[in-house]
Structure 1
């Protein structure tokens, strides 16, 4: 990288945002011998966004082949990343979805069409297998699901990117992005500016603020989500990743915001949360404090449905969701600006595959499925 007065350097691609998606993009670009620098606003291991913590669900359980295909690709790449960095990231625990929502049948149909292993369990069979969870309906088991260690995953992606030649810089806020032409951008920081052919902007909750009018983003809703770790009454071993969906309009759906997700976080307890129903926030002005009514509902859910946890012993967690109107991601390019945002609380599992998509967008302009475009169909 060549430095000049007032200029930090000239590279092929600048990646802005060192969470899971930006780090994955830097890895995928660097391994293709693209000269890349990754700029992260905060210090390594920060807790301001959506990529921190010790646990995220990994699953193939989607009703459509596009998401299943991305998850399969991501699973292969997570294993490759583990070998590349000598870090354990993905633990297979199996996953279970239950409840009286018809979406479970859509999941089963999608898994069957894609040839993903799964089978139904009766409430009694599910209870015998996971006595820490109460079941009153049939349950859909998918054995290939599990959990990812989020902090280690981000660190491994950055380590692999650096090993392949990327420059990774933390505590380097990007102050502005200036488009010069179809093949030239300036990325400004307090320490100088980077000139590049492409910029990949993967800042999620900060996308609207940083991009302004540089890309035709769909509406983005940023919320502060507030799951919690509940103390397990016995060992955390053996807990599956969990989805519980209530029928629309039911009393339970109203009380528990439509449904629940959960998984074990070794050493911290059983992580339980509502999906995408936290209060809207400015990502630069968060209080990291649970909303009292939702926290009370979370504890009540644990009392009613999770005999394997102590509903009175919990540690709240805070993270952000950046959600699009249809909950599909934004993975698209406008001129020299590649954008990754709107991961809607379910993106982490896909990170290395999304990194490949972003690399394709930056290098060749190859777009993924239309559902991820700026303008949805």
Structure 2
């Protein structure tokens, strides 16, 4: 090689390095399966695929600290009983089984982990209008839920020490692993297991584009410095939450119409230390028994709330998390909504509902005794029926794209069933099924037949 050639080669290498450092696209690499979204849904799907021996890479736009998404935080309500539908009960109960499999696998790999790392078993409280009592009794017995029911104010006081309003009943569920689950802990365990199974996880990888190229997909992602990376995949699972519509504009433009992101809020309250230390033992005991709760006693969607303990201080004074499943508002910017502070009205709603509920349980606190210690805005992704989608895509031809599965529209009900959604997604991508009737009913409710009907309806009624 001449001196001139050596100089040219050196210049080329130098500028290639400079361009790549400045954000130039890196070379493509091919993967069998790419999972987009490292929250509960994507992580559960990636784990199930890795467990089945598939080569998996999981792309997550955040870093290891999960600060955005409906699964943010340390607690979500986990429950077996569900009024009017066995679907949600199956999703929870199957998820408990799948979590046990995950915990056992990690234990066999030398990790000292128990189910209590994910599930905190406590009685779950439901307060509802009396007219729903018959349906609750029927569903509890059908779903084999251990429960107690107070139908009158007298029974409420005698059984639970609770002052029930007229026309309201209290139902308590007593099932192992019903209570709360820790989504952050579950995500962490899933990521550990994925890696142990040979999977790859890339954080700070925001997917900006997906194109179909022949028999595979081309995926473009950017890291936190703006450097772009391109990779190809034979199969994809998209679990990108509220970003599903924009992400799938090219492959499935109908998703932007089927999935509607809405902002919801969470308030974190605590009884003032001075007041908490004045509480007698009975009041503190009642405080502990009162949570978690789903309170629908107001009789309106907007008036209902869910609430649970997020954490407790060294003195036992709990941080109470409260939110409204139907306290929703429009979103101007998905990038900014996570940082939106609660309004005064939202804070007032949270304090008033918490104070009223505590006093009902004999905890003598006034609204002014409750302090706001934190607040969070997060996002629900909603379908028109509020039943999620876990399905292969509908291709432009109307046929099934069996190599692309989307998990979307969790609408705040995803956490307790996440492990089941992951199993369904992994099975769909591999062309597998199960004989279990609960599984088949779940696939029917969330899968391709339902998605195809929704897409066909959009074509009939494009104005929707």
Q: 2:328 aligns with which of 278, 300, 307?
A: 278
Q: 1:21 aligns with which of 37, 41, 46?
A: 41
Aligned to 1:116: 145
Higher mean C-alpha deviation, range 270-279 or range 338-347:
270-279
Matched, 1:209 2:246: yes
Higher mean C-alpha deviation, range 230-239 or range 212-221:
230-239
Aligned to 1:196: 233
Aligned to 2:296: 245
C-alpha separation in 1, matches of 2:308 and 2:159: 15
Deviation at 1:49, TM superposition (A): 1.6
1:287-366 alignment runs, 5 A limit: 287-307=339-359, 308=363, 311=367, 312-315=370-373, 316-334=375-393, 335=401, 336-364=403-431
Question: Residues 270, 359 of structure 1: CA spacing in aligned structure 2 closer, same or farther, 3 A cutoff?
Answer: same
C-alpha separation in 2, matches of 1:340 and 1:243: 26
Deviation at 1:140, TM superposition (A): 1.5
Aligned to 1:370: 444
Deviation at 1:363, TM superposition (A): 1.2
Matched, 1:149 2:182: yes
C-alpha separation in 2, matches of 1:328 and 1:376: 14
C-alpha separation in 2, matches of 1:310 and 1:8: 61
Conserved in 2, the CA contact under 8 Å of 1:276 and 1:321? no
1:85-234 alignment runs, 5 A limit: 85=106, 86=113, 88-100=117-129, 102-122=131-151, 123-124=153-154, 126-127=156-157, 134-136=163-165, 137-144=168-175, 145-181=178-214, 183-190=215-222, 191-215=228-252, 216-217=254-255, 218-232=257-271, 233=276, 234=284
Q: SS of the counterpart of 1:43?
A: coil
C-alpha separation in 2, matches of 1:101 and 1:219: 34
CA RMSD of aligned residues (A): 2.5
Q: SS of the counterpart of 1:306?
A: helix
Higher relative contact order by CA 8 Å / sep ≥ 6: 1 or 2? 1
Question: Residues 328, 288 of structure 1: CA spacing in aligned structure 2 closer, same or farther, 3 A cutoff?
Answer: same
Q: What are the Cα deviations for residues 1-33 of structure 1, in whole angstroms up to 9, with x where unaligned?
A: xxxx94342121100000000001110000000
Question: Residues 12, 138 of structure 1: CA spacing in aligned structure 2 closer, same or farther, 3 A cutoff?
Answer: same
C-alpha separation in 2, matches of 1:108 and 1:375: 35
Q: SS of the counterpart of 2:251?
A: coil
| Rg comparison, structure with higher value | 2
Aligned to 2:460: none
More helix, by proportion: 2
Higher mean C-alpha deviation, range 53-62 or range 279-288:
279-288
Conserved in 1, the CA contact under 8 Å of 2:76 and 2:415? yes
Q: 2:306 aligns with which of 249, 252, 261?
A: 261
C-alpha separation in 1, matches of 2:85 and 2:453: 17
Matched, 1:41 2:61: yes
Question: So what's the TM-score if we normalise by structure 1?
Answer: 0.88
Unaligned runs of 5+ in 1: none
C-alpha separation in 2, matches of 1:302 and 1:240: 11
Question: Residues 124, 153 of structure 1: CA spacing in aligned structure 2 closer, same or farther, 3 A cutoff?
Answer: farther
Higher mean C-alpha deviation, range 171-180 or range 29-38:
171-180
Higher mean C-alpha deviation, range 366-375 or range 58-67:
366-375
Q: SS of the counterpart of 1:185?
A: strand
Higher mean C-alpha deviation, range 56-65 or range 366-375:
366-375
C-alpha separation in 1, matches of 2:126 and 2:237: 35
Question: Residues 115, 46 of structure 1: CA spacing in aligned structure 2 closer, same or farther, 3 A cutoff?
Answer: closer
Q: What are the Cα deviations for residues 100-135 of structure 1, in whole angstroms up to 9, with x where unaligned?
A: 16445434322322222223124455456666x653
Conserved in 1, the CA contact under 8 Å of 2:297 and 2:304? yes
Question: Residues 301, 237 of structure 1: CA spacing in aligned structure 2 closer, same or farther, 3 A cutoff?
Answer: closer
Q: SS of the counterpart of 1:321?
A: strand
The size of the alignment, in residue pairs, is 365
Q: What are the Cα deviations for residues 324-367 of structure 1, in whole angstroms up to 9, with x where unaligned?
A: 11110011111132111110111111111111011012111758
Question: Residues 310, 41 of structure 1: CA spacing in aligned structure 2 closer, same or farther, 3 A cutoff?
Answer: farther
